[in-house]
Amino acid sequence: MKIERDNRIWRASLLGSAIAAVLGLTGLARADVGAGTVSPAVQERVRQEMRALLTELIETGAFGDQPPQQITLDIDAPAQRVNNLGVLVDSAHASRDGLAVLGVTPGGSAERMGLRAGDVLVALNGTALTGSGATATLRERVEALPDGGTLDFEVRRGGRTQTVSGTLARIYLPAMHLTVGGDAALAAADPAAAAAGCGRISQFDVAPRQQDLHGAKVISIDGQLAGPTDSNTFRVAAGRHTLQVSERIESRYLSFNDRLRNSTPDRYKTLVVDVLPNTTTLIAARLNPDKRTEWKNGAYWDPVAWKQIAEPCR
């Protein structure tokens, strides 16, 4: 929904306008915030928020045709001050009646003063919020206020006009440096593996269907579960590794239904791969067209390492 998307974008903007983004698709990113320490819970929340925004960017084609394993960004944001008004307005349908409130964000000034979804903002501190320029007017008036400045909104709610008042809260953000891709932070955290050389195993599905290659999931690597469940790429020491892999072939490519496919006792297959230093090995499920009806023993597919991409792993 549009409101959900706007909420994600608004929350991400609080991390700094330079964050157009991202933990890398591989989950390999480095974010150094100021010189202090940040609790694991806060770090995880930042990761989740940024993954949500990255998903939005990927879904809308923001990175174009660039392979995800080759996406690298190095983003810097200076220390800055942002206004935590926290109100989402329908800027696309501003009218002479005012700005419709789509929602308010938790903890913002708008929520504390009592604004809520469904309100129509008619004026702020005596300045009308009507017409096509209403959104810009709202932004300019809020930016012009000093810390702790008074906000007096004329609001139409339930057919009646009333005044909703409060004070503006501002947030001061530290300088930020964000590195996406390159595996720099994870390599630094494991000096022994870095010294021995490392590479990556990726299950991200960019396999060409015209070559009968489809999505696959890496279940385990050398007998150990393959990292976080939401990861698509796994950093490993260079050398030979034994994987347990399941297929993610879309049903439309098969000649039997999912009930039969799921009834197979052992849906995992073993794949041995040789991971080269500074190389990402892409894993896929190869559909065997001449055996697409043989679901009982899983003969319809095999796991394969179908491509290698040179990428630094330090």
Q: Tell me the per-residue pLDDT of 200-213, one tens digit each, with 9 for 90 and over.
A: 999 988 888 889 99
Q: What is the pTM of this model?
A: 0.41
Distance, CA of 48 to CA of 42 (rounded, Å):
10
- What percentage of the chain has pLDDT greater than the value 70? 72
Statement: residue 6 has pLDDT above 60: no
Residue 194's SS3 state is helix
Residue 266: per-residue pLDDT: 64
**Are residues 114 and 190 part of one domain?**
no
Say whether both 265 and 277 belong to one domain.
Answer: yes
Q: How far apart are CA 140 and CA 142, in angstroms?
A: 5
Q: What is the pLDDT of residue 16?
A: 36
**Helices and strands, number each (H, E), in the chain:** 7, 19
pLDDT at residue 178, rounded to an integer: 74
What residues have CB less than 8 Å from 242, skipping those under 6 apart?
221, 222, 223, 270, 271, 272
Residue that wins the pLDDT comparison between 96 and 301: 301
| 11 and 28 share one domain | yes
Question: Do both 190 and 290 map to the same domain?
Answer: yes
Domain boundary pick from 148, 178, 208 = 178
Q: Which two tokens stand for residue 132?
A: 């096509």
Give the model confidence (pLDDT) of 59-106 as tens digits. 777 777 776 666 667 776 666 667 778 888 887 776 778 889 988 888
Contact 25, 73 (CB under 8 A): no
Q: Give the residue numbers spanning the domain of 287.
A: 186-310
User: In total, how many domains does the chain have?
Assistant: 3
Residue 11 has pLDDT above 60, yes or no: no
Which of 154, 178, 202 represents a domain boundary (last residue)?
178
> Mean pLDDT throughout 7-34?
37
**What CATH number should be reported for the domain holding residue 163?**
2.30.42.10
Q: Are 305 and 192 part of one and the same domain? A: yes
Residue 126 shares a structural domain with residue 236: no
The reply to whether 58 and 109 lie within a common domain is no
75, 159: one domain: no
Whether residues 205 and 238 fall in one domain: yes
Q: At 263, is the pLDDT very low, low, confident or very high (cuts 50, 70, 90)?
A: low
Cβ atoms 185, 28 nearer than 8 A: yes
Q: Which residue has the higher pLDDT, 196 or 44?
A: 44
Q: What is the pLDDT of residue 186?
A: 41
- Mean pLDDT (the chain) is 76
| Top mean-pLDDT range of 15-29, 135-149, 163-177, 267-281 | 267-281
Tell me, yes or no, whether 102 and 155 share the same domain. yes
Determine the pLDDT at residue 239: 92
Q: Are residues 190 and 303 in the same domain?
A: yes
The answer on pLDDT for 290 being more than 60 is yes
pLDDT at residue 193, as a whole number? 43
Q: Which of 178, 199, 229 is the last residue of a domain?
A: 178
